[in-house]
Amino acid sequence: MKPRETIIRSSTTLDKEFYNIPLFGEVKIDDKNNPRSHYDIGEIITNSRNSTSQSFTVRAADDALSRAGQVLSLADNAGETVFDRLLIETLHAPVLYAVKRGPILNDATREDALAAGVHRVADIVTTGSDAPGTILDRCSEEFRRFYDTAELVIAKGQANYETLSDQGPKVFFLLQAKCPVIARDAGVPVGSIILRQGRAYAEHRGGQPHSAMTAARSDRAWN
């Protein structure tokens, strides 16, 4: 059995461990505070396996994935593209893999996706924007069409959660809560691995739609 086959099962019925695969890199590769550290991949996988995700969210993601005719996957960090490829390889629906138009922070670009071989398992597209996260009104018309027509959106990382958390139930977020604002918004401790479905309807606070970005802005305003 190949090493990755001990972690991944090709199936339309998935479990929590399956959704943790693309977060193995999120947990340690995106450690800006300790960039020269050496990590044990086995430890990373064990910690991801032991993380908590609400079972109802896993079931909702299973159901959405089993019915989806087209999946849009929103990339996060450059170093995670290889883990994204492992996830995409197991999906049975065609996948569009969206990267940034150009370099911004450590976000994935087309070159990063090509280096990881993502083009062998998905069609690579760009958001048409180089802003962190996915701010839809800053994205290209072409990308917005991809977004609108996708039946399921897999959005990785905090920035995508901040910008898309109020965009409806077809979006499923995979991230690690790395700051108190996001952890509080998601209702989990800092450091938690999260699989979360987008809000079915925009929540309102003071008559305004609520997203994680709104929460972050409010927190900065009060601190």
Q: Is the pTM of this model over 0.85?
A: no
Q: Which domain holds residue 93?
A: 13-222
Mean pLDDT, to the nearest integer, of 46-52?
Answer: 54
Q: Examine residue 89 and state whether it is found in any structural domain, yes or no.
A: yes
Between 61 and 39, whose confidence is greater? 61
pLDDT tens-digit series, residues 93-150: 999 999 999 888 889 999 999 999 999 999 999 999 999 999 999 999 999 999 999 9
pLDDT of residue 90 exceeding 80: yes
Question: Which of 130, 108, 126 has the alpha carbon at shortest distance from 29?
Answer: 108
Residue 4 domain-assigned (yes or no): no
82: closest CA among 123, 114, 38?
114
CATH number of the domain to which 92 belongs: 3.40.50.10880
Q: Is residue 2 part of a domain?
A: no
Average pLDDT, stretch 200-218?
46
Integer Cα distance of 206 and 186 in angstroms: 20
The pLDDT score that the predictor gives to residue 67 is 87
Q: Report the domain count for the chain.
A: 1
Decide if 66 contacts 72 (C-beta within 8 A). no
Locate 221 and state its tokens: 């305003």
- Tokens representing 74? 């929103």
Annotate 138-190 with DSSP letters as a single string.
GS-HHHHHHHHH-SEEEEESHHHHHHHTTS-TTEEEEEE--SHHHHHHHTS-T
In a domain, residue 5? The reply is no
Whether the per-residue pLDDT at 60 is higher than 60: the answer is: yes
Domain membership of residue 57 (yes or no) is: yes
- 16 contact partners, CB below 8 Å, separation of at least 6: 49, 51, 53, 55, 58, 195
- In this predicted structure, the answer to whether residue 73 has a pLDDT above a threshold of 90 is yes
Give the DSSP letter string of 186-207.
HTS-TT-EEEEEPPSS-EEETT
Mode of pairing for the β-strands spanning 171-176 and 203-205: unpaired
